[in-house]
Amino acid sequence: MTWLDPMDCPRFEDLASEFLDGRLDETTAAAMRLHARQCAACGPLLEALHGTMEALAALPAPALPSGFETEVLAHTSGERRNAAGWGPTLQGLGRILWQPRLAMGIAVAWFGFTLLLNVTGIRLRRLHPGDLAPAHWPQIVSRTLHRTYARGVRFYYDLRVVYEIQAALHAIHRQTQAAPAHTPGQSARPPYNWNPSSRTLAHQRHPGPGAGLHLRWAWMSRPKTCSLGRWV
Amino acid sequence: MNAATIAARRPLPVWDGKAARLGGSLATAGKVAEKVEERQLVQRCLGGDARAWEEIVRRHSPRLYHLCLRFTGNAAEAEDLAQDAMLRIYRALASYDPGQGALVTWMTALTRNLLIDHYRRSRNQRRTDSLDDPGAALPIPAEPQRRQPDAGVWRRELHEAVQAALVRLSPELREAVILRDLEDFDYKEIAAVLHIPEGTVKSRINRGRIELARWLAPRLRHSMGGTP
Ligand SMILES: [Zn+2]
């Protein structure tokens, strides 16, 4: 350190990096420059430090290993979505509801609900917002009661007509059967035939509403050798 | 050859260019906008926006991986550490306070803690060479090769030598030099990452660079002396 060079070597070394980083005031920086030119130790030191910084800065920034980001996202994104989003929660709920027992329970409950709606005469498709007002409930109930009463009356009259027809038929039947002689076994039989096999025969004799079913069953159960023989 | 002749032959460019690059000349407005954008990104991420998190991963993974790679000098270890760091960042994101500093500072601090933990764990498992150990073999060939290698080979060897020298630094000096010269953090940011006073940052950067310069000087002199 001279009057021309106010910098000493230890101080130069301490300040070298800050000097290279441009952090020193101009006076100190000028003193550093002067010392570097005149000192045989500090000049090369500064040179080497500068070279080192350049070599460090020249180190290549390597590319991320392939799949790095995918791996990170695979381990993270799901957690955050679960914590904040509704989607996965609903999915989980759906998975629980899809279990057979619960699904069956829900189906039964829905069936009961629709049955109730049906009985009370509420039609969801024709439901108006006004219908939900409590003031309208007596009106709906009374309308439903009237409709049910009318149906009941109609059903009763229908029954009466059927009964009268049946009674008339029985009377005719009795008149036609009065002529032939009765065997003792036959007379011991009850008036109604409860034997299922003979009932089937009766159906075959007098084709009624159930006869079609019997015929269809008969067609399905008959051997199909003919048609098979034709195709094979 | 004295310093005066060096200066005459090859004037130190750092006195102008380097100072300008590192002197905090980055537009302040740009930095503020970046901070606001990052804050929004974090908010979106915390609100469950998966794309915001993807954006954070995409933006910061390369830097954190680079930090891990240069600190450990081992690609496989660096990958594991950087992934671990990203997972920890993800889990701790709610605790990030933008008022305390930039996201990148916070992320780097978290990664740096992992690196130090890793260093301490592995210190007992492998022999660590002390900086003052005179018997420690330097992987840097001091003698310039007679045969002139091509530029690519020469550059690759220099990179390997620099990386080897970095790993030989004590972790305290190493992290300071990496953050300054590779990650381009300023002294204040490094103080925030390392939780140390700025004066300590200055001294660690300087000591680290001087150690590296001593090891690398022969090669660097060689490179200055007219290699491609
Ligand atoms: Zn000196």
B127: Cα within 13 Å, side-chain hemisphere: 4
Same domain, B57 and B4: yes
Same domain, B172 and B113: no
DSSP state at residue B138: P
Measured CA to CA, the distance from residue A43 to residue B8 in angstroms comes to: 12
Ligand 1 centroid distance, CA of A45 (Å): 9
Domain boundary, last residue among B126, B146, B174: B126
Percentage with pLDDT > 90 across chain A: 28
Same domain, B13 and B29: yes
| Residue pair A187/A161 in contact by the 8 Å Cβ criterion | no
Percentage with pLDDT > 70 across chain B: 74
Which of A8-17, A71-80, B38-47, B155-164 bottoms out in mean pLDDT, i.e. has the lowest? A71-80
Question: Which residue is closest to A21 within chain B, CA to CA?
Answer: B19
Taking the Cβ of residue A130 and every Cβ of chain B, the question of whether any pair is shorter than 8 Å is answered with no
* CATH code, B113: 1.10.1740.10
Q: How many CB pairs under 8 A join A and B?
A: 161
Predicted model pTM = 0.59
Q: What is the pLDDT of residues A38-58, one digit of tens each?
A: 999 999 999 999 999 999 999
Which of A22-31, A83-92, B166-175 bottoms out in mean pLDDT, i.e. has the lowest? A83-92
3-class DSSP state of B228: coil
Contact A47 B12 (CB under 8 A): yes
pLDDT of residue A141: 59
pLDDT of residue B171: 96
Which of A79-83, B22-26, B57-61 bottoms out in mean pLDDT, i.e. has the lowest? B22-26
Give residue B178's Cα distance to chain centre. Answer: 2
Domain boundary, last residue among B102, B126, B150: B126
Same domain, B88 and B166: no
Query: B102 is in which domain, residue-wise?
Result: 1-126
- Residue whose C-alpha is closest to residue B182's, from A16, A49, A14, A55: A55
Contact A71 B83 (CB under 8 A): yes
Same domain, B74 and B148: no
Ligand 1 centroid distance, CA of B19 (Å): 21
| Residue pair B159/A60 in contact by the 8 Å Cβ criterion | yes
Helix (H), strand (E) at residue B36 = helix B28-46
Taking the Cβ of residue B225 and every Cβ of chain A, the question of whether any pair is shorter than 8 Å is answered with no
pLDDT of residue B6: 38
Question: Which residue is closest to B80 within chain A, CA to CA?
Answer: A68
Contact B2 A40 (CB under 8 A): yes
pLDDT of residue B104: 94
Which of A139-143, A174-178, B85-89, B113-117 bottoms out in mean pLDDT, i.e. has the lowest? A139-143
pLDDT of residue A114: 66
pLDDT band at B36 (very low <50, low <70, confident <90, very high): confident
CB contacts under 8 A, A 24-43 vs B, are 29, 33, 36-40, 42-43
Measured CA to CA, the distance from residue B45 to residue A7 in angstroms comes to: 53
CB contacts under 8 A, B 35-74 vs A, are 45-48, 50, 53-54, 57-58, 61-62, 65-66, 69-70
Taking the Cβ of residue A89 and every Cβ of chain B, the question of whether any pair is shorter than 8 Å is answered with no
Ligand 1 centroid distance, CA of A14 (Å): 11
Structure tokens at B29: 């407005």
Domain boundary, last residue among B105, B126, B147: B126
Same domain, B191 and B203: yes
pLDDT of residue B85: 97
Contact A22 B20 (CB under 8 A): yes
Mean pLDDT of chain B: 81
- Residue B105: how many other CB atoms lie within 10 Å: 17
Taking the Cβ of residue A8 and every Cβ of chain B, the question of whether any pair is shorter than 8 Å is answered with no
| Residue pair B46/B93 in contact by the 8 Å Cβ criterion | yes
* CATH code, B179: 1.10.10.10
Mean pLDDT of chain A: 70
3-class DSSP state of A48: helix
What's the total number of domains in chain B? 2
Taking the Cβ of residue B177 and every Cβ of chain A, the question of whether any pair is shorter than 8 Å is answered with yes
Structure tokens at B157: 């060897």
Same domain, B43 and B112: yes
| Rounded mean pLDDT, A30-36 | 96
Question: Which residue is closest to A84 within chain B, CA to CA?
Answer: B48
Ligand 1 centroid distance, CA of A37 (Å): 9
Same domain, B190 and B86: no
Same domain, B163 and B188: yes
Same domain, B187 and B98: no
> Is the per-residue pLDDT at A15 higher than 70?
yes
Q: What is the pLDDT of residues A83-125, one digit of tens each?
A: 544 554 555 556 666 666 666 776 777 777 666 666 566 665 6
Ligand 1 centroid distance, CA of A178 (Å): 149
Which of A118-132, A204-218, B159-173 bottoms out in mean pLDDT, i.e. has the lowest? A204-218
Q: What is the pLDDT of residues B123-143, one digit of tens each?
A: 877 655 544 444 444 454 444
> Which residues of chain B make contact with A85, given a CB cutoff of 8 A?
48
Distance from CA of B118 to the nearest CA of A (A): 19
| Rounded mean pLDDT, B59-82 | 96
Q: What is the pLDDT of residues B7-18, one digit of tens each?
A: 333 334 344 333
Contact A52 B20 (CB under 8 A): no
Ligand 1 centroid distance, CA of B75 (Å): 40
DSSP state at residue B145: P
Measured CA to CA, the distance from residue B205 to residue B181 in angstroms comes to: 9
Same domain, B135 and B163: yes
Same domain, B172 and B89: no
> Which residues of chain A make contact with B50, given a CB cutoff of 8 A?
77, 80-81
> Is the per-residue pLDDT at B216 higher than 90?
yes
Nearest-5° Cα angle at B6, B173 to B3: 70
Contact A38 B62 (CB under 8 A): no
Ligand 1 centroid distance, CA of B40 (Å): 51
